Amino acid sequence: MNLIHRKLFYVFIIFHLEIAESCRCKRKVPENRHGIAPLTIINHDEEIKRSTVKAVIPRMSIEWSIRLTLQITGINQPKDWCNVIHLTEDSDSDRLPSLFFNEWINQLRIYFPGRDQSWPYETTLSLHTNYTIEIHQRYKSGGKYQFIATVNGDEIVNVESPQAASVQRYDVKIYASNPWFASCIGIIKDFRFTNFL
């Protein structure tokens, strides 16, 4: 009996050590590195509608993050660009950033602050497919900032932000389709903005 009890005791100890080790390895990673809760702009499926201001950010930090899920569901303007989201202080040319989609060539275009508007970063999308898009501007080093964009976890942009992008902005409007372009036919959900003040 004594030998059986010892074996059961060892099995019990080994089992609990394995559970403790597996729990330690699976700790939950916070959503952001600064401990700041993201602002939810759109939570559940919402149709994209032209000229819809979803929020106004009183002060937009130099470091920020956007995350959303996009599904383009139809074509309304072949051979032209439609707008998905647009962050701006006051105008179409102020893109902090902005997402456009060309339904004819199934291409998403990401404009971001301070870059030459004629050299946007593009990636191909398909209709009726969910895409998780993340766009960040984060501090790099030496007073420099990095602009990074991913689609479904695949990095499509990673460039140093120009000086013009490295300033705080005020009263920034978050459009779920701006008033200057046609809105895309599609759905946005899980749209979150994090302001690292």
Which CATH number goes with the domain that contains 191? Answer: 2.60.120.200
Residue 55: inside a domain: yes
Residue 70: inside a domain: yes
- The domain tally of the chain equals 1
Residue 31: inside a domain: no
Over residues 139-193, the pLDDT tens digits come to 888 888 888 999 999 998 888 877 656 678 899 999 999 999 999 999 999 999 9
Residue bearing tokens 């420099």 = 144
Give me the domain span that covers residue 161: 39-195
Find all residues with CB under 8 Å of 12, minimum gap 6, and list them. Answer: none
Residue 100: inside a domain: yes
Over residues 94-112, the pLDDT tens digits come to 677 889 998 778 888 888 7
Closest CA to 42 of 160, 192, 196: 192
- Burial of 1 from C-beta contacts in 10 A (0-12 / 13-18 / 19+): exposed
pTM above 0.75, yes or no: yes
